[in-house]
Amino acid sequence: MKFLIINGPNLNLLGKREPDIYGSLSYERLCALIEGHALAHGSTACCFQSNHEGAIIDAIHAADGVYDAIVINPGAYTHYSYAILDALKAVDVPAYEVHLSHIDQREPFRAVSVTAPACVGQIYGHGHQGYLMAMDYFLEGGR
């Protein structure tokens, strides 16, 4: 399978950013882990990160017909980006939403995901393992 992994704003600062909430793994190490997981399953993963909504939307559009699945952590855009919701709905690539933290046990605004309805599933609170679990969903035949 060909995976596109999309990480939204501030996730480039993983490891440094609020490590008590998001963990101590850096963004670079997260990508290495994801790429290794894909390779171990005869697949590939391309990691993309942007702090800009439009760039994330462009990446989703460009995934159509190129990638088999998207694993996306939209960061704070999760809670208000109807544009990312629409982009995910507009393409024929299934997406799985991932959050490192327990978004349901934090500030009330984080419990709401406007992007999840365009995804086949959502996982949160499992730290970096959540990305691998989302990939496993597709590797095991989920669509």
Q: Is 100 in the site for ligand DQA (CB under 6 A)?
A: yes
Tell me whether residue 84 is exposed, middle or buried, using C-beta atoms within 10 angstroms of its C-beta: 0 to 12, 13 to 18, 19 or more: buried
Residues contacting 7, CB < 8 A, separation 6+: 27, 47, 48, 49, 50, 72, 73, 75
What's the closest the beta carbon of residue 13 comes to ligand DQA, in angstroms?
A: 9
> Residue 143 and residue 112: Cα distance in Å, rounded?
23
Q: Tell me the site size for ligand DQA, rule CB under 6 A.
A: 10
Q: Is 103 in the site for ligand DQA (CB under 6 A)?
A: yes
Q: What is the contact mask toward ligand DQA in residues 11 to 50, using x (rule: CB under 6 A)?
A: ----------------------------------------
Binding site for ligand DQA (CB under 6 A): 10, 73, 75-76, 78, 99-101, 103, 110
